């Protein structure tokens, strides 16, 4: 039951982040500005690079959130003898562990560096949580250990801090029209 509550906390925080960025319109302009048009950059407007970065990272965070939620539902009714249950759990654990690698190597836009660093911390804790759960699963255990719970709670806290950083950025920078 503790695993389900911890996973629910992470899900709530991630849903808040997705809602904060959910209004991104996805418009990105490619190419160089023409020689006739002066290139004026308004520092209060979110750039196309920042929009693309945010869309990608938020999609990764949303996917991890969904996987953590599904893992929680799966572990609420463990069925170690069911090959399909085990395969589902392993796939979810694989994807949660891979989330960190999906964004850790990205070079974020400078103004989003603090958000990026906190998102990496959150995904790092999520990956460690999944690794611990995988080890327990390989030994036939489905209960949440103190170590796994600590990483899950640290992930939830980091996701919350990342959400605050993202909301702060979006509050001070307007989306392009």
Does the residue 96 lie in any domain? Answer: yes
The angle that helices 48-75 and 2-21 make with each other, rounded to 10 degrees, is 160
Does the residue 34 lie in any domain? Answer: no
- Give the structural domain span for 147: 2-23+42-172
pTM: 0.76
Q: Give SS3 for 126.
A: helix
Does the residue 177 lie in any domain? Answer: no
Does the residue 148 lie in any domain? Answer: yes
Tens-level pLDDT at each residue, the chain (177 residues): 455 455 445 544 544 554 544 444 444 444 555 555 545 556 788 999 999 999 999 999 989 989 998 999 999 999 999 999 999 999 999 999 999 999 999 999 999 999 999 999 999 999 999 999 999 999 999 998 999 999 999 999 999 999 999 999 999 988 877
Residues contacting residue 118 through CB under 8 Å, at least 6 positions apart = 158, 161, 162, 165
Does the residue 32 lie in any domain? Answer: no
Q: Which long-range contacts (CB under 8 A, 24 or more apart) does 111-114 make?
A: 111/50, 111/169, 111/173, 112/50, 112/53, 112/54, 112/169, 114/165
CB 176 within 8 A of CB 48: yes
- What is the total count of domains within the chain? 1
Among candidate residues 103, 114, 109, the one with its CA nearest the CA of residue 167: 114
95-107 pLDDT tens trace:
999 999 999 999 9
Does the residue 128 lie in any domain? Answer: yes
Calpha distance 8→61 (Å, rounded): 15
């Amino acid at each position: 039951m503790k695993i389900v509550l911890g996973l629910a906390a992470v899900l709530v925080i991630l849903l808040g982040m997705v809602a904060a960025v959910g209004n991104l319109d996805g418009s990105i302009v490619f190419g160089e500005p023409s020689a006739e048009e002066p290139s004026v950059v308004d520092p209060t407007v979110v750039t196309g690079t920042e929009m693309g970065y945010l869309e990608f990272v938020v999609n990764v965070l949303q996917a991890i959130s969904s996987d953590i939620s599904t893992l929680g539902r799966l572990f609420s009714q463990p069925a170690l003898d069911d090959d399909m249950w085990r395969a589902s759990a392993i796939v979810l654990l694989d994807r949660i562990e891979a989330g960190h690698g999906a964004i850790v190597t990205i070079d974020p836009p400078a103004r989003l560096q603090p958000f990026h660093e906190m998102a990496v911390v959150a995904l790092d804790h999520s990956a460690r949580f999944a690794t611990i759960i995988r080890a327990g699963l390989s030994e036939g255990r489905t209960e949440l250990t103190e170590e796994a719970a600590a990483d899950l709670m640290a992930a939830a806290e980091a996701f919350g801090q990342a959400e605050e950083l993202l909301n702060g950025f979006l509050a001070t920078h307007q989306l392009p029209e």
